[in-house]
Amino acid sequence: MSVAKSIALTLVAFLTFMVEGASGQSDAEVWNEGVDYYRSGDVTNALRVLRPLMLTRSHGARAAEVVAKLELERGNNEEAANAAQIALRANPNDAKANRNYTRAVDGLAELRETRLINDVLAQHQGADPSVLMMGATKESRMLMDAIAGYRTNDAVKAVALADELSGRALELSNLWLPVKVAICQAVTNEEQAATIVAQVDQARERTRLAARQTADMEPEAYSTIADVEHDCTRFLKMTILPPEAIGEGMESQSNAWTNAERLNGRDWQQEALDYTRAFRAKFPAWARAYEQQAQNDTNSAPFTAEDQAKISAMATELEKLQMEGLESGDKSIQKRALDMIGEISDLMPKSKSNQPNAAQDGTPQQNDQGDGRQNGEQEQQSEAADKEDGEAQSAEQSEDDKEIEAILRKAQERSDEHEADKKARMRKSPLPPNERDW
């Protein structure tokens, strides 16, 4: 429980005490009643009676001292610290009050951290680290964009944005906790696990630093969150599964081919190569796991040994192409690599439950006939308008521009498709811990 919440409870208790004061008891009589409960070992009633007295002038310090002692004995350090603080304020030079306050707050930070960790782990129990890191990476990039310019707003708006962005960065820091637990469970080499855990802890502390710097509107906040983005991307590449690696690789290869601006100083062709290497490292074990899961799940499309062998061979050739494209910068090579990623993506299995005209739960969609006709007319009108706009735009575009647009659209569609397939496909059959390559 936070100190603010504890204070609020004390205020509520005090107000209740004031409202119920019709009993006619004086502060001294209430104190004596509370002491009687305390001496008889009735802690619950002692706290009920004495807690409201903490805010009175006549008995506040004495009541707070007793409440702090009882709460500390019960292990409620938050409330004990609040009560001890009230007693200390009344007698700041009192040695006993100082000792009680020190005892109450000793270990409070660790206690809060433990409670936070338990809450976060419970919230993300069973979540795949690759899914968590995918979300964390996207969030870190959005924070980079926002933190780069929020200080240019007027003072009132800038402060509000600083608080919002700081809160988001703090939430982002919590995502490192379940990732660390998953790595500890999956990595069998103790030395390697210790190294990775230390890196995760550093990344989490860096994310929390970004949150503090953003809240204080420090210029260094941007460089810190940029470092966090590097951390997120690095761990994403370590944990990413083959379907998502293909989607990220296609986007990166598209950006390399079209000379998109570098991402946080990183070369897009190198990014595409990294995702291909992550794909190749994990594909054999992932394919076996998928094949086993498909045997027991009618919603899983078959994945033949022939397709698996073809994908493996193409991925090997793709890595060579990307290495050559990275060294030479040849656009024709980068285009061939992009086309090959598309071919690999087409060969990857798709969940049957995600086919068109099916609801998310796999049941057929049912629509009212009247609404269906109305929606059909609206769709036809929309399609006609889109067609006219497309024809007008195509007349103004060069052949190269149209080709680039088509490739980028295809890349986005495939990326979105893999994102939609993620839960239905791999959460049902995650890789065995001993086969994950972190």
Which mean pLDDT values do the consecutive 10-residue runs of the chain (438 residues) have?
52 46 74 90 90 88 88 82 86 82 75 71 79 93 93 89 95 89 78 88 95 95 96 94 96 96 95 97 94 82 91 97 96 96 94 40 38 48 53 51 55 55 45 45
User: What single-letter amino acid sits at 248?
Assistant: E
* Count of helix runs (H) and strand runs (E) in the chain: 18, 0
Decide: 425 and 352 in contact? Cβ < 8 Å: no
Fold of 3-106: 1.25.40
Instruction: Tell me the three state secondary structure of residue 263.
Output: strand
Residue 358 burial by Cβ neighbours in a 10 Å radius (0-12, 13-18, 19+): middle
Q: What pLDDT score was predicted for residue 354?
A: 39
Domain boundaries, given as residue ranges, for the chain: 3-106, 110-236, 240-362+399-438
* Torsion region of 354: left, alpha or beta (phi above 0 gives left; psi -120 to 50 gives alpha): alpha
Q: What pLDDT score was predicted for residue 425?
A: 44
Taking residue 327's Cβ as centre, other Cβ atoms within 10 Å add up to 10
Closest C-alpha among 253, 198, 203, 271 to residue 232: 203
Alpha carbon 277 to chain centroid, angstroms: 25
What's the token pair of residue 256? Answer: 């390399």
Instruction: Tell me the three state secondary structure of residue 261.
Output: coil
How many Å apart are CA 150 and CA 216, to the nearest integer? 12
Q: What pLDDT score was predicted for residue 361?
A: 35
Taking residue 92's Cβ as centre, other Cβ atoms within 10 Å add up to 8
Q: What pLDDT score was predicted for residue 8?
A: 52
How many Å apart are CA 315 and CA 307, to the nearest integer? 12
User: What single-letter amino acid sits at 21?
Assistant: G
What's the token pair of residue 357? Answer: 């005209």
Counted residue by residue, the chain has a size of 438
Question: Is the overall model pTM greater than 0.85, yes or no?
Answer: no
Residue 418 burial by Cβ neighbours in a 10 Å radius (0-12, 13-18, 19+): buried
Q: What pLDDT score was predicted for residue 384?
A: 52
Residues 6+ apart with CB under 8 A from 308: 287
Determine phi and psi for 358, rounding to 5 degrees. -125, 140
Residue 228 burial by Cβ neighbours in a 10 Å radius (0-12, 13-18, 19+): buried
